[in-house]
Amino acid sequence: MTYQQFLSEISTYRKFGIRLGLGNIRRLMDVLGSPQKNLKIIHVAGTNGKGSVSNFLMTILSAYGFKTGLFTSPHLCSVRERFIINGNPVSREKISDVYRLVKKACEKIGKNRDFSPTYFEVMTAMAMVYFASEKADYVVLETGLGGRLDATNIFPDVLCIITTIAKDHTEHLGDSITGIAYEKAAIIKRGSKVVVGNVPPAALKVIERTCKKLKVSHKGWGRDYKADLKGSALKGSTFDFKAGDLKIKNLELKKAIGANQVENASVAIMGIKEILPLEEKYIRSVKRAFWPGRFEILRRKNSTIVIDCAHNPQGMMTFRQNLTLFGKKTKFALIFGVLKDKDYRKMIKEIPFERFNSVTAVVPPVPDRALNAGILAGVLRKESGCVPVKEGESLEEAIKYYLSRKTNIAVAGSLFLAGETRKILKLCPGI
């Protein structure tokens, strides 16, 4: 099977949409021979920050010398980004071969029953097959949606991490912080180590009840570990990590921008401390960790471009906070696009319109889920004050327009919008 054939076939699974449940993935893994049985899995859930925490974990484990797999979603540019080992995405040939094996398993199950796995279920099965075939020492597994009924939640793990809890995907996870916390806490399993990030008190109580029920302890933000931020700027951040009597001073982040990334790095470090002896020289590898599309700053001739994946109210709050790193005098044009199943009205209330001289509403490249640009522009105008808002013909046209006028650009509102921006700016070679 060629890579292009794989891309064509895998896209057909999207028609089954989001369908939570564990039956399909269990059947798939059984037919595939349970390739996950010899893998050490670190399971990461959370509303925001789970991709960044997962990437920090991979970076540190790789520095220790471990062959470390990383499975995340969605991808920004290429499906190959979902399957990474020590920073390197899977090859075109290998991903095609792995898919062929999973496809055969799907066909075998389908002979005896109706079997329609979702895109994410197939991806999850492929991840286990790939990392097992490469004999990965550790696999960092990011949940797709929620946790309890997520396809990643059938695998035993050595460490569970819950990063943040906020409202998102409420149509699937419920509209309360405690309900969402219950769904995400369900990744915790008896015998696992557990690390919890900076979550609301109500969410923490739910997680603590789960831990108590399963007779596992957890390490909590602020109680068992924390980060003391010493400085945060566009060139990076400096912080001290503390956990009990342990203190690692002057840790640096150079490619992950913002105070939120200091929290994410600290969650990852605490996770490492739970499973390995902490060695400072390896922990300092966080300095080089980079996760595209997370307040990513680019220079294009006379313009500065910020690409951010903020796609819910909490994410937009972080985006707003990180923009202050530029200082009050730096203005941007905002290119904004959202999915219609997001709480975009609350997202818009977090936009710091005083930082923008214009706003363009665009449509993310997800036709069945994207909010119409005209509708979005109308909502933006109600909140923008004197800042002009227009409906853009396309993301690419909006970027070209502002670059031609030497204007600084900020792109936010959707992971898919961030990915498309990176493609337009030719930041996705060999996809």
The fold of the 296-424 domain, in CATH, is: Protein-Tyrosine Phosphatase; Chain A (3.90.190)
- How confident is the model over 178-189, as pLDDT tens digits? 999 999 999 999
Q: Tokens 């600290």 correspond to what residue?
A: 266
- Using N-to-C axis directions, what is the helix angle for 23-31 and 92-110, rounded to 10°? 110
Say which residues have a Cβ less than 8 Å from residue 201's Cβ, sequence separation at least 6: none
% of the chain exceeding 70 in pLDDT: 97
The answer to whether 250 and 242 are in contact (CB under 8 A) is: no
The yes-or-no verdict on residue 15 having pLDDT over 70 is no
The yes-or-no verdict on residue 123 having pLDDT over 70 is yes
Q: Which two tokens stand for residue 70?
A: 């990383």
Question: What confidence category does residue 114 fall into, taking pLDDT thresholds of 50, 70 and 90?
Answer: confident
Supply the pLDDT for residue 385. Answer: 95
Burial (0-12, 13-18, 19+ Cβ within 10 Å), 341:
middle
Q: What CA–CA distance (Å, rounded) separates 145 from 415? A: 14
% of the chain exceeding 90 in pLDDT: 90
- How confident is the model over 266-305, as pLDDT tens digits? 999 999 999 999 999 999 999 999 999 999 999 998 999 9
Burial (0-12, 13-18, 19+ Cβ within 10 Å), 256:
buried
- How confident is the model over 189-214, as pLDDT tens digits? 999 999 999 999 999 999 999 999 99
Supply the pLDDT for residue 430. Answer: 73
* Among 181, 185, 242, 254, CA closest to 214: 185
Q: What CA–CA distance (Å, rounded) separates 249 from 226? A: 12
The answer to whether 351 and 320 are in contact (CB under 8 A) is: yes
Number of Cβ within 10 Å of residue 33's Cβ equals 11
Supply the pLDDT for residue 113. Answer: 76
The yes-or-no verdict on residue 90 having pLDDT over 80 is yes
- Provide mean pLDDT across the span 396-406: 97
The 3 state secondary structure assigned to 272-339 is HHHHCCCCHHHHHHHHHCCCCCCCEEEEECCEEEEECCCCCHHHHHHHHHHHHHHCCCCCEEEEECCE
The yes-or-no verdict on residue 27 having pLDDT over 90 is yes
- How confident is the model over 57-73, as pLDDT tens digits? 999 999 999 999 999 99
CA dist 336 → 47, 157, 324 (Å): 21, 38, 18
Supply the pLDDT for residue 170. Answer: 63
Q: What CA–CA distance (Å, rounded) separates 406 from 348? A: 25
**Class at the top of the CATH hierarchy for domain 3-288:** alpha beta
Full-model pTM: 0.96
Question: What confidence category does residue 169 fall into, taking pLDDT thresholds of 50, 70 and 90?
Answer: low
Supply the pLDDT for residue 16. Answer: 59
Q: What CA–CA distance (Å, rounded) separates 179 from 273? A: 29
Q: Domain spans of the chain?
A: 3-288, 296-424
Q: What CA–CA distance (Å, rounded) separates 29 from 35? A: 7
Supply the pLDDT for residue 266. Answer: 98
- How confident is the model over 220-236, as pLDDT tens digits? 999 999 999 999 999 99
- How confident is the model over 70-82, as pLDDT tens digits? 999 999 999 999 9
What 3-state class would DSSP assign to 99?
Answer: helix
The yes-or-no verdict on residue 318 having pLDDT over 90 is yes
The yes-or-no verdict on residue 367 having pLDDT over 90 is no
